[in-house]
Structure formats: C-alpha cells, structure tokens
C-alpha cells in the first residue's frame, strides 16, 4: 500500500531518480531541481511505499498573457510514476490530492499538458474552449484546464506561459 504526502527536503534525491527512471532522460529532473532552487514550486507531493518514492507531482505558477487582469493559476507538471507502479491508481490519487490542496491554497484554475484520456476524468477540458492557448507548439487537444472555482476563467483568455525552465524540456 502506498501513501501520499508533501515533498520534504530528504526526498530530493529520490525524486530525481524517479524522474530520470520514469522519463528515461535527465531533463525533467533538471527542471524540477531548477524550479526547486528558484523556489517556484507551489506544491509538490510524493507517493511512497516502504520509504521508496514511487510517484511525484508538482504544481508551479503560470501566467495568462492577456489584456485582462491576472489571477492565481498553476500548471501541473511533472506527474511521474515509476513504471512498475503505473496503472495502480497512484497517479490518479496524486492528481486528486494535488487538486484539492491547490484549491485549499486559493488557486482558481490548473492547466496541464498531457493525455486527454487521463486528465478528462478529473474535470480537465480542452483549454481552447476557454480561449486559453499554450505557448508551446503542441496540438490543442493536449493542453487542458480545470477550473477549481466555477467561472474563474470568465473573461481571462490568451496565451499561457510556463516558467522559463519549461522551455528546456
């Protein structure tokens, strides 16, 4: 059985190993290390089994580039589960728990780049339906948003920019 908790300082090495193993390359681990060093990770959580980190999720600020005022909005990235532990609902539980915590912190919406068949079950919808677009050159169906407060995105439209470190991934 696994449990989920906020990331602590002692998790840094385990999170790095998890990210490298899950993605098969160092870029995501480098991204998280840099975001952590700059103190721009708003929320990060780990799933662990008997002390081994088997899952990780992070949320960091993103900015809607538009003519209207800015609001509290976050980007979910990365989400990673060690391959032997995938398809065991650990990722789903990390997303659910993370969304609840972000809402408690007062955030109104979350964006994510990912698989619609996974994220739709948590209420994420194609961001273009809200006239929000990713600054990355990706098909629009993979850029999604979830309002944590109904109507939070009303009047907010434009390009969503992630932290600059995301351009290196």
Q: HEC string of 36-101? A: HHCCCCCEEEEEEECCEEEEEEEEEECEEECCCCCCCEEEEEEEEECHHHCCCCHHHHHHHHHHHH
End-to-end CA distance of the chain: 32
Mean pLDDT (whole number) for 102-108: 95
pTM of this structure = 0.94
Mean pLDDT (whole number) for 146-150: 94
Write out pLDDT tens, residues 87-96.
999 999 999 9
Domain boundaries, the chain: 3-168
Kindly tell me if the per-residue pLDDT of 157 is higher than 90. Answer: no
Q: pLDDT-based confidence at 25, cuts 50/70/90?
A: very high
Looking at domain 3-168, its CATH superfamily turns out to be Gcn5-related N-acetyltransferase (GNAT) (3.40.630.30)
Kindly tell me if the per-residue pLDDT of 71 is higher than 70. Answer: no
pLDDT of residue 165: 84
Kindly tell me if the per-residue pLDDT of 38 is higher than 90. Answer: yes
Q: pLDDT-based confidence at 105, cuts 50/70/90?
A: very high
Kindly tell me if the per-residue pLDDT of 85 is higher than 90. Answer: yes
């Amino acid at each position: 059985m696994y449990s989920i908790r906020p990331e602590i300082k002692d998790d840094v090495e385990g999170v790095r190993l998890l990210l490298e193993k899950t993605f098969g390359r160092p870029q995501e681990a480098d991204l998280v290390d840099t975001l952590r060093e700059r103190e721009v990770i708003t929320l990060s959580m780990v799933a662990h089994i008997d002390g081994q980190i088997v899952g990780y999720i992070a949320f960091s600020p993103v900015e809607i580039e538009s003519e209207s005022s800015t609001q509290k909005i976050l980007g979910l990235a990365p989400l990673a589960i060690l391959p032997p532990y995938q398809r065991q609902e650990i990722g789903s539980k990390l997303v659910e728990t993370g969304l609840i915590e972000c809402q408690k912190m007062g955030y109104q919406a979350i964006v994510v780049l990912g698989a619609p068949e996974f994220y739709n079950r948590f209420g994420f919808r194609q961001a273009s339906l809200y006239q929000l677009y990713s600054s990355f050159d990706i098909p629009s169906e993979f850029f999604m948003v979830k309002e944590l407060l109904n109507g939070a995105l009303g009047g907010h439209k434009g390009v969503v920019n992630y932290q600059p470190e995301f351009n290196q991934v």
